[in-house]
Chains A and B, each alone.
Chain A
Amino acid sequence: MTAPGAWLLVVDDEEPARRLLRDYLARRGYRVHEAASAVEALRAWDAHRPDLVLLDLGLPDLDGVDVIRRIRREATTPIIVLSARGEERDKVVGLEAGADDYVSKPFSIGELEARIHAVMRRLGGADTSPDGLLRLGSIELDPARRAVTVAGNPVHFSPREYELLKVLLSNQGRLVTRERLLRAVWGLEYTDAREYLHVYVGRLRRKLSEAGIGPLIEQMIATETGIGYRVAAPKPDLPADAPTAG
């Protein structure tokens, strides 16, 4: 699915930006549909069912968040939001509506491609292996035994820490909002208790780091200030060639 030739839908009303993205991504081996408005985007979505949607939130006809909701009603197709709106609140709204990741304009085009790659890899099943284990680098989480190992050595976690790690590992490649994590681990009534998360993520990082991951953990469980956390496998050197199957 993430083979070269995956279909992307680029939705942006800025013609030059759209054209540049199209040309660049085409050269990187993707196939690209374009849309300049929400209506066009939904029409293209219905017609082509792309593998991934790059969506600018500031569209002339409809709010981009509505496009996310509309797509989410039908499919789990990854959506990466591109937006020039600076407010954290807007990002959270987009992510809560179902977007997988968020890239602020202006972005580095290489960084955008890395995000596309990460999201596609997750859907390609990189994080859930056939044996049912969740993996991130040398970290392995076995849901059946509720056990975590780093490079084969067991690491002990409290039940909450374990749950948090599990949610993080099952959302690799996405930007997970704090609200979502709190809901998943602590329950609905704790969605405002952000200091919990701060403390628990800190403990997770410390334990994993001490277990042998080292400072790289800061990249693997990265903080997106004001929004949440992004979990991704430690980046090998930036892919120098066209994307290949993850």
Chain B
Amino acid sequence: MPAQVDNGGPPPTLPAARGTSIEAMKQIAARRLAPARVTARRSGPTIAAAMFLALAGSTGAVAIIRAVVPNAAPVYLLAVLTVGMLFGTVPAVLTSLAAFLLYDFLFVLPVYTFTIASPDEWLNLLLLVAVAVVIGRLAALQTERAQEAADRAREAESLYRITGVLASTRTVGEATPLVLAQLAETTAMDRVWFGLGPSPTEERIVADTAAAESLPVPGWHVVLQRPPDRPAHWVRTHVPRAGSPRAALAVVHRVRVEVAGEALGSLWALRARAEREPDRAETRILSAAADQLGQAVVRDRLAREATNAEILRESDSLKSALLDSVSHDLRTPLATIRAAAGSMLDRSITWTQDEQLDAFQTIDAEAERMGRLVRNLLDLSRIEGGALRPELAAHDAGELARQAAGRINPQGKMIQVDLPETLPAVLVDDVYLGQILANLLENAVRYGGATIVIRGRDLPEESAVELSVADDGEGVPVRALTHLFDKFYQVPRADGLSRRGMGIGLTVVAGLAHAMGGTVHAEGSALGGLTVIVTLRAAAVLPPDGDESGLVWSEAR
């Protein structure tokens, strides 16, 4: 059992003794006289002096009153009332007794002696004393209540500020300095700091009102004990293996920060040794602040956990969505291939040569499509890793466009290649441009209507060539146009159904175009659907040296 601390002040006040505690009165009186820090010890002489002054004043007035007022008793009552209001019950009772003696001495016949001649006078005097005591006590109580109300208001105001700070900040780290500054001010502590950790010696200091280096955990300090069924009180505690006591200079106060039985850390406060122990209001504020900080720490932790869980969940669901699309996009052509092969293998059916040719072409086109998907996945990782190495050379855009259109399975749709004869050669990697066009055409076949048009336009002043793939499908909402090239982006549908596909085709288009020094953008098409426009660098025109076109041609790979 740790000893009750004696840090120079009176023993802790207990609410049980509230109304009558002499020490409490003294403290109140002391604060009243000097709102700055006045210790309880210094209040004794002050009260004596004040009482003396009051009585002396009243005695001084006796002569005058004697001449004017036939009965001087009310004057004494007034003195008792004043003392009671200012200094509390005990001074008021003492004043009453003094008043009794003085009245006896000055007014009761024979005057200037303490002798009382008449039994009537006895009665009078006793009544006076009784009334004086009651008045003094009532006045003292009144003052005490007013003081208590003021204390409560101060406490509430302070708690209000603390909760306000916690509510308006996002993290404990942000809130604590403000809370501690508020605490230091309202609880008259020299320094307040907040540490997080399971035990005092393992604590990490989160915030400190003093800029100086953090204090070692003192070898002894007072800890606020907060038993559930009894009022909180400060208890001196020794910490094994902690720093040396700096007790000579200051007392360190510690309030444990606990939530649901879990020790989270401590709220520390330092007050010069000569100062009094924290009063009830200050103790309550420190205690409530510790609780609030504890809640904030827990809130922080939960928020962090929730965020982490959310990140995990999102990356998980993204992964599974990607896997799902990849498997869907690979299975679809694979199913067609298997159906074609299975049909051809059925010995019970005799297929015509045309039908066989058709099946083999389907197998070829679908295998091509699977290859393109795998290439897109690889390209995507290359784009992200910055590992694209285009081999740029001059190529005929028309030629590449026609090749790409020939390789795609049009699924009954019409693909027009509409490029001007005069279109200059483009400086591209033909494999990349082939992949770009294939991706654009596949999208157009999948989402477009009956007609797909590939167009080309010369931009001589920019030495660039524009290639566009337009469809006459539903198109894409304007809002979605800018996101079209984002990885895994899928155009939201009005009916909430998810689009099929992985959302990487256009990302790859943009990545490949950029790698070749080109750009890509999308807009509504004149056909009513979507147009994707790829701007590519035109191949440099060589000075005419006999080659008719003046262009550098490279062998198609």
- With contacts A17-B339, A20-B339, A20-B340 taken as known, whether A58 is within 8 angstroms of B331 at the C-beta atoms is no
Q: Does A241 contact B (CB under 8 A)?
A: yes
Contact of A16 with B409 in the complex, beta carbons under 8 Å: yes
Nearest CB in chain B: distance from A93 CB, A: 14
Could you tell me the distance in whole angstroms from the C-beta of B448 to the nearest C-beta in chain A? Answer: 11
- 0/1 interface trace, chain A 82-116, chain B, CB 8 Å (1 if under): 10111100000000000000001111111000000
- The CA-CA distance from A60 to B473 in the complex, in Å, is 12
Question: How far is the CB of A119 from the nearest CB of chain B, in Å?
Answer: 19
Q: How far is the CB of A189 from chain B (nearest CB, A)?
A: 30
A240 at the binding interface (Cβ < 8 Å) = yes
Give A86 to B367 CA distance when docked, in angstroms: 20
Q: How far is the CA of A61 from the CA of B498 in the complex (A)?
A: 10
A105 with B343, Cβ < 8 A, contacts A17-B336, A27-B349, A87-B324 known? no
- Taking A27-B349, A106-B334 as contacts, is the C-beta distance between A62 and B497 under 8 angstroms? yes
A106-144 CB contacts (< 8 Å) to partner B: 106-110
Question: Does A24 reach chain B (CB closer than 8 Å)?
Answer: yes
Alpha-carbon separation in the docked complex, A84 to B326 (Å): 10
Residues of B within 8 A of A104 (CB): 331
Flag if A106 contacts B349 (CB, 8 Å).
no
CB distance from A227 to the nearest CB of B (A): 17
Q: How far is the CA of A217 from the CA of B346 in the complex (A)?
A: 28
B385 at the interface (CB under 8 A from A): no
The number of residues on chain B lying at the interface, defined by a beta carbon within 8 Å of a beta carbon of chain A, is 28
Known: A16-B366, A28-B349. A21 touches B411 (CB 8 A): no
Residue A23 at the chain B interface, CB threshold 8 Å: yes
- A86/B331 in contact, CB under 8 A: yes
The answer to whether the Cβ of A40 comes within 8 Å of any Cβ in the partner chain is no
B411's contact among A16, A62, A106, A240, by CB below 8 Å, is which?
A16
Determine whether the beta carbon of B497 is less than 8 Å from that of A84.
Answer: no
Contact A84 B335 (CB under 8 A): yes
Give Cα distance in the complex from A107 to B348, angstroms: 19
Interface string of A2-35 (1 = CB under 8 A from B): 0000000000001111011101100110000000
How far does the alpha carbon of A84 sit from the alpha carbon of B366 in the complex, in Å?
Answer: 15
**Minimal beta-carbon separation of B496 from chain A (angstroms):** 10
A107 to B342, CA, bound (A): 9
A63 interface residue per 8 A CB criterion: yes
| 6 A–B contacts from the bound complex (CB under 8 Å) | A15-B411, A16-B340, A17-B332, A20-B336, A109-B338, A109-B339
State whether A20 touches B359 (Cβ < 8 A): yes
Question: CB within 8 Å of A: which residues of B?
Answer: 324, 327-328, 331-332, 334-340, 342-343, 346, 348-349, 355, 359, 362, 365-366, 409, 411-412, 495, 497, 500
The docked-state distance in angstroms from the alpha carbon of A215 to that of B232 is 78
Known: A15-B412, A16-B336. A108 touches B324 (CB 8 A): no
From the candidates A20, A24, A60, A106, name the one contacting B331 in the complex (CB within 8 A): A106
Whether the Cβ atoms of A63 and B331 lie closer than 8 Å is no
Apart from A16-B362, A27-B343, A106-B337, what 18 extra A-B contacts exist at CB < 8 Å? Answer: A15-B411, A17-B336, A20-B340, A20-B359, A24-B349, A28-B349, A58-B500, A61-B495, A84-B332, A85-B328, A86-B324, A86-B327, A87-B324, A106-B335, A109-B338, A109-B342, A109-B346, A240-B348
> What residues on A are CB-neighbors of B497 within 8 Å?
62-63
B493 nearest CB across to chain A (Å): 9
Q: Which residue of chain A is the closest to B329 with respect to CB atoms? A: A84
B-chain residues with CB within 8 Å of residue A84 when the two chains form the complex: 327-328, 331-332, 335
- Neighbouring A residues of B412 by C-beta, 8 Å: 15
Q: Which residues of A contact B331 (CB under 8 A)?
A: 84, 86, 104-106
Cβ–Cβ < 8 Å partners of B340 in chain A: 16, 20
Instruction: Name the distance in Å between B350's Cβ and chain A's nearest Cβ.
Output: 9
* Also in contact, A241 and B348, with CB within 8 A (given A16-B366, A20-B343, A86-B327): yes
Bound complex: CA of A79 vs CA of B495, how far in Å?
24
Quick one: closest B residue to A109, CB to CB?
Answer: B342
Interface-centre pick from B335, B336, B338, B409 (highest chain A CB count, 10 A): B335
Q: Looking across the interface, which residue of chain A has its beta carbon closest to that of B338?
A: A106
